[in-house]
């Protein structure tokens, strides 16, 4: 069974940092592009960042560019999201997501809550 399990969330004050991790299993992690998607309460999902299978291509939503950094360790089957200079508006449930070769998302983690508040 393909599975993604996020960890590392929590409560952090504005300006603080967090590092999210996502452990993948049940599929060939090294062959897949991976994504972080976030969802604020009562809102639709929002794409945050992506990374190619080799890690050579990375992209970020304008709202997090310069503050967030995506990376991966294919030997450990793990995806990361380093979040710096956090803002109140970054508060959301963060999902680790796998796509198919054609681009739709077929596997989502259970989500990890990030709360930015003083």
Partner 1 sequence: ENVLTQSPGTLSLSPGERVILSCRASQSVTSDYLAWYQQKPGQAPRLLIYGASNRASGIPDRFSGSGSGTDFTLTISRLEPEDFAVYFCHHYGKLQDTFGQGTKVEIK
What is the contact surface with partner 1 in residues (CB under 8 A)?
33, 35, 43-47, 50, 59, 95, 99-100, 102-106, 108-111
- Strand arrangement, sheet containing 68-73: 3-7, 18-25, 78-83, 68-73
The residue (of 12 and 37) whose beta carbon lies closer to partner 1 is 37
Task: Closer to partner 1 by CB, 5 or 16: give it.
Answer: 5
> Considering the complex, what minimum distance in angstroms separates the CB of residue 67 from partner 1?
19
Least distance in Å: CB of 15 to partner 1?
Answer: 28
Please answer whether residues 67 and 60 qualify as being in contact, where contact means their C-beta atoms are separated by less than 8 angstroms: no
Closest distance of CB 110 from partner 1, Å: 6
DSSP state letters, 41-105: TTS--EEEEEE-TTS--EEE-TTTTTTEEEEEETTTTEEEEEE-S--GGG-EEEEEEEE-TTS-E
User: Least distance from C-beta 13 to partner 1, angstroms?
Assistant: 27
**C-beta of 16 vs 39, nearer to partner 1:** 39
């Amino acid at each position: 069974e393909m599975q993604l399990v996020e960890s590392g969330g929590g409560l952090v004050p504005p300006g603080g940092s967090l590092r999210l991790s996502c452990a993948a299993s049940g599929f060939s992690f090294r062959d897949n592009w991976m994504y972080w998607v976030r969802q604020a309460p009562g809102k639709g999902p929002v794409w945050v960042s992506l990374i190619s299978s080799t890690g050579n291509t990375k992209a970020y939503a304008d709202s997090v560019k310069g503050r967030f950094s995506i990376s991966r360790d294919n030997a450990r089957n793990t995806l990361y999201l380093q979040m710096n200079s956090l803002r109140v508006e970054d508060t959301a449930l963060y999902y680790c997501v796998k796509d198919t070769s054609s681009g739709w998302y077929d596997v989502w983690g259970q989500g990890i809550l990030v709360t930015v508040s003083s």
